Chains A and B, each alone.
Chain A
Amino acid sequence: MTEIVHADAEKREKLAHMAGQIADFFKAYPDEQAAPAIADHINQFWSRRMRADFIAAFEAAPEALPPLLRAALPALRRAPAE
């Protein structure tokens, strides 16, 4: 059980890190371009489950994310579950 909790925390941290790197690239752009570009990048390259895990991890507590990611969050594509 603790192992799964640990794996979940690790996954969450990893996805947040990856998303943070993407945001770091686009932050040089004006905000109104950056947020959609971040969402678009994640929609294009992340698998359905990675996006779902990311949304699940941060939807309830978006404060944990940097502002640009917070702004991009609603535009992430929600695919129907398997």
Chain B
Amino acid sequence: MTLIKEIDFGTPIRVSDKAVTLTIDGQSVTVPAGTSVMAAAMSLGTKIPKLCATDSLEPFGSCRLCLVEIEGRHGTPASCTTPAEDGMVVRTQSENLASLRKGVMELYISDHPLDCLTCSANGDCELQDMAGAVGLREVRYGYEGENHVFAKGKEGLANENWLGKDASNPYFTYDPTKCIVCNRCVRACEEVQGTFALTITGRGFASRVAAGPTDFLGSECVSCGACVQACPTATLMENSAIQMGQPEHSKVTTCAYCGVGCSFKAEMQGDRVVRMVPYKAGAANEGHSCVKGRFAWGYATHKDRITKPMIRGKITDPWREVSWEEAIGHAASEFRRIQDHYGRESVGAITSSRCTNEEVFLIQKLVRAAFGNNNVDTCARVCHSPTGYGLKTTLGTSAGTQDFKSVAKADVILIIGANPTDGHPVFASRMKKRLRQGAKLIVADPRRIDIVRTPHVAADYHLQLKPGTNVALTNAIAHVVVTEGLIDEDYVRERCDLADFELWARFIAQEQNSPEATEQFTGVPAADLRAAARLYATGGNGAIYYGLGVTEHSQGSTMVMAMANLAMATGNIGREGVGINPLRGQNNVQGACDMGSFPHEMTGYRHVSDDATRQIFETIWGVALDDEPGLRIPNMLDEAVGGTFKALYVQGEDIAQSDPNTQHVTAGLSAMECVVVQDLFLNETAKYAHIFLPGSSFLEKDGTFTNAERRINRVRQVMAPLSGKAEWQVTADFAKALGYEMDYSHPSEIMDEIARLTPSFSGVSYEKLDALGSVQWPCNEAAPEGTPLMHVDRFVRGKGRFMITEFVPTQERTGARFPLILTTGRILSQYNVGAQTRRTANSAWHDEDVLEIHPFDAENRGVKTGDLVSLASRSGDISLRAEVSERMQPGVVYTTFHHAETGANVITTDYSDWATNCPEYKVTAVEVRRTNYYSQWQERNREEDVSLRLIAGRDAGRLPDAAE
């Protein structure tokens, strides 16, 4: 195993139809027009010395180390800023160049500490490399002059140029003494990340890099790590590398946090991770990352990890650590007993969107083949199930239409109910880049989310609608399109079902859908809405990006269809720069859906009642399969409370924290006779479990994740499973114990089976993924290298289908008792239920859930920032701290659900989407008042953090992470 070193071309390789041919040191080379001389040389393998250039950034031309000679030109131009031209003759080495470069290096080194041996970048420092490359042997200026290196001068007086280290960020350190002011960090923060947190203060010799008004943690910095990667010296350095030293080998793998699916190099010493570095060839992220994937991987080896299987009789008993054989044997005998007693349909499983495709596939196979029913569901139920339903109905496939790169061609970006800078940060960086280039932006969101106004980006329209009125808003946009004659008629005529279109057009043109009529529901001024609609319909390529603010409503599926209608009517599907794109939450939520996790669908979204599909599976699996749709998560819980559903296998999910109406969920779990939880940690759901099977982190297994752009990325094992078994092995053992053989020696064989069973995956194999890096499904004979864009010449379902999307207000209403609307969401540094991120230093940014409330509502209730307030709904009540915020509109409050002890889902109701039962997290009627107490639920939960999680033989059974 070796350390993967990526080539740095110095400047970006341009995309161009025109090619130019030039000669460098006597060798001829052809590159796309616009490529720099430096990058052209590197494509021949010729490294021109450089310091301020790196190929993730535009050339800057400040260090003057990259000088070359060009025939017919005066002087020595910088090769990073000089574009290659046809017929150019370039020399990269000569006596003259060598002495010029030596001179430059000498100046740099005269203001740089000479402690290479003890420096954290030793072995990975471009300054060191360049000193070597130019043959620097002496520094004539000496080190006594003005410098930034020493805290004190010779006479013992303080050196006013000297600055101490900034270690405020928990993950990296800024050591100004080593800075060569090459500006790479500042440019990375601007060009790559788009945050503009860094500046160069001072001029000339006094200039230094500075973060925001105070230090890194106190600045706008979002800790994405782009500056750390860009820094050629030890000035900005990962703390883990400072502590551990340089890695010796690396493997490319995929971030296990969000649906962007960034590729990383896991840089290792033995089986210890030194750091995770974003991988340039990763097509989803192209070398960028966010704080979670880059830095927050410490949870994988956190001391709270449970690595031994455990069982107990009652949930109030202490856990007993047992062998794998005993745990799996016990689980199998319980499931058999329960099925014998309560019937075949009394058991089921929930698959995890955090696990690999292969692991998810095996769980649903376990349910269908070994349990003999279709009671399998996945946590996508509670987030993007309406996406599946809505897009399948209108377009014919349950997935986003574009790749991420497509946003670079968008002219008008419409973001609805998504908060990309927090939820999908790496994609947001791409989006912001396009917006800085001048694309227009429309944001429809009840809150003033960050992207509405961030450095060099301002939304043209922020449609600040009331929660729960998405459909009314989107219908109104479509109404403007239809009634103002903005329909792309040729497109609709050629590609859509005309009878459905006409039905829809007649409906949408009705007065009730006009911006003026819907204003009473949405609160969005009709004039703004009309202007935004015209912009979307006529501004060129219109691209819709949406998130859970669309799906998690009682009309979630309707809304997805309303957006699809709008995109079809304006001809905005089927080419680059347009489309309708769900921003998926968890890393493998797309994959979990693809892999047949829904109770009514086999892999590739084929209904269980379809005889032909079932037959293929029956032949390969060798068992008869049930043709009846099984239970969805809420139905399982309802039936558990009703007494007919008795056993559940939960793979890597925490429904007791993440699902709505916690008390209903826990009532369902408590009513079951056998709950099996497979997870890294003793999570909230495990409080109600009888069998605990330790899971393995993404670092411990081979497999694949599928991101929001349908991209199948490889996950590669870099350390052995701490529990001794990867999850897929556990599932296979469980199936065997139930009498159903599952024989695989490696996850690649599971993928081969998926490919055999699923037409849209038939071309996928580990071999191909290793060769191509990743592929986007459909990947089959028709598209052997995958499909970046869907619906290019025709829709997957044939003709696009317009659906009538009438606005039906949710039954959750505000009134005298509950006058405010609560909506929920997430923030950048924490992830979902927080089980992982809370176990990292990310809590430096967010250590508790707070309630955001508008100043007007706050003042009415005498609430100030920092006050403890009680938040009550029809479902329950909790207490948390308030934060008065202008981002809210009056009447609407907001919180996150990252911390179990807050219990935000105690508040949410069990209202759900009409088509898919996706819960309505985004609208709950609540009241807020000041309080001095935590709620009864919170107090009880605190006790149960201890009492339901005792482990026999551990110091008083208390887990380190129990609430204090």
Contacts and interface: CB of A to CB of B under 8 A. Distances in A.
Interface of A: 4, 7-8, 10-11, 14, 18, 21-22, 24-25, 27-29, 41, 44-50, 79, 82
Contacts, number: 64
Contact of B914 (A11, A25, A29, A50): A25
21 contacts: A21-B554, A21-B808, A22-B914, A24-B808, A25-B557, A25-B558, A25-B914, A25-B915, A27-B806, A28-B806, A41-B915, A44-B607, A45-B600, A45-B632, A46-B629, A47-B345, A47-B375, A49-B639, A50-B635, A79-B628, A82-B345
Contacts of A11: 638, 642
A60 to B, nearest CB: 20
Nearest to A27: B806
Tell me the interface secondary structure of chain B in the complex: loop
Contacts of B631: 47, 50
Given A21-B554, A47-B635, A49-B644, A29 B629 contact: no
A14 B661 CA distance: 15
B697 interface: no
B804 interface: yes
Given A28-B507, A44-B600, 5 more contacts: A10-B642, A27-B806, A45-B600, A46-B629, A47-B375
Contacts of B554: 21
Which size bracket describes the interface of B in this complex?
A: 20 to 34
Residue among B343, B630, B806, B914 having the largest count of chain A Cβ atoms under 10 Å: B914
B381 to A, nearest CB: 12
A82 B343 CA distance: 8
A45 B374 CA distance: 11
A79 B608 CA distance: 14
Nearest to A34: B804
Contacts of A14: 638
Interface of B: 343-345, 374-375, 503, 507, 554, 557-558, 599-600, 607, 609, 628-632, 635, 638-639, 641-644, 804-806, 808, 914-917
Contacts of B635: 47, 50
A44 B631 CA distance: 12
Contacts of A10: 642
Contact of A47 (B557, B630, B915): B630
A8 to B, nearest CB: 8
A7 B628 contact: no
A18 B808 contact: no
Given A11-B638, A28-B804, A82-B344, A47 B558 contact: no
Nearest to B554: A21
Contacts of A8: 642
Contact of A45 (B558, B629, B804, B806): B629
B679 to A, nearest CB: 26
A44 B608 CA distance: 9
A28 B804 CA distance: 7
B345 A49 contact: yes
B794 to A, nearest CB: 24
A44 B600 CA distance: 7
Nearest to B557: A25
A64 to B, nearest CB: 18
A28 B915 CA distance: 15
Residue among A28, A46, A50, A82 having the largest count of chain B Cβ atoms under 10 Å: A28
Contacts of B600: 44-45
Residue among B374, B375, B808 having the largest count of chain A Cβ atoms under 10 Å: B808
Contacts of B642: 7-8, 10-11
B507 A47 contact: no
A8 B15 CA distance: 65
Given A14-B638, A21-B554, A47-B635, A29 B804 contact: yes
B669 to A, nearest CB: 16
A25 B915 CA distance: 9
A27 to B, nearest CB: 7
Contacts of B638: 11, 14
Nearest to B630: A47
A17 to B, nearest CB: 8
Nearest to B807: A28
A21 B345 contact: no
A45 B641 CA distance: 20
B597 to A, nearest CB: 14
Contact of B599 (A21, A28, A47): A47
Nearest to A41: B915
Contacts of B507: 28
The 4 A-B pairs of least Cβ separation, nearest first, read A21-B914, A28-B806, A28-B804, A48-B628
Contacts of A50: 631, 635
B630 to A, nearest CB: 6
A53 to B, nearest CB: 9
B662 to A, nearest CB: 18
A46 B609 CA distance: 12
Contacts of A22: 914-915
A44 B629 contact: yes
Contacts of A18: 914, 917
B184 to A, nearest CB: 54
B628 A47 contact: yes
A7 B637 CA distance: 13
Nearest to A15: B638
B345 A48 contact: yes
A22 B555 CA distance: 10
A58 to B, nearest CB: 17
B652 to A, nearest CB: 24
B384 to A, nearest CB: 16
Contacts of B808: 21, 24-25
A47 B644 contact: no
Contacts of B607: 44
Contacts of A44: 600, 607, 609, 629
Contacts of B917: 18
Nearest to A7: B642
A45 B599 CA distance: 8
A31 B635 CA distance: 29
A44 B344 CA distance: 20
Contact of B643 (A7, A29, A45, A82): A7
A11 B637 CA distance: 11
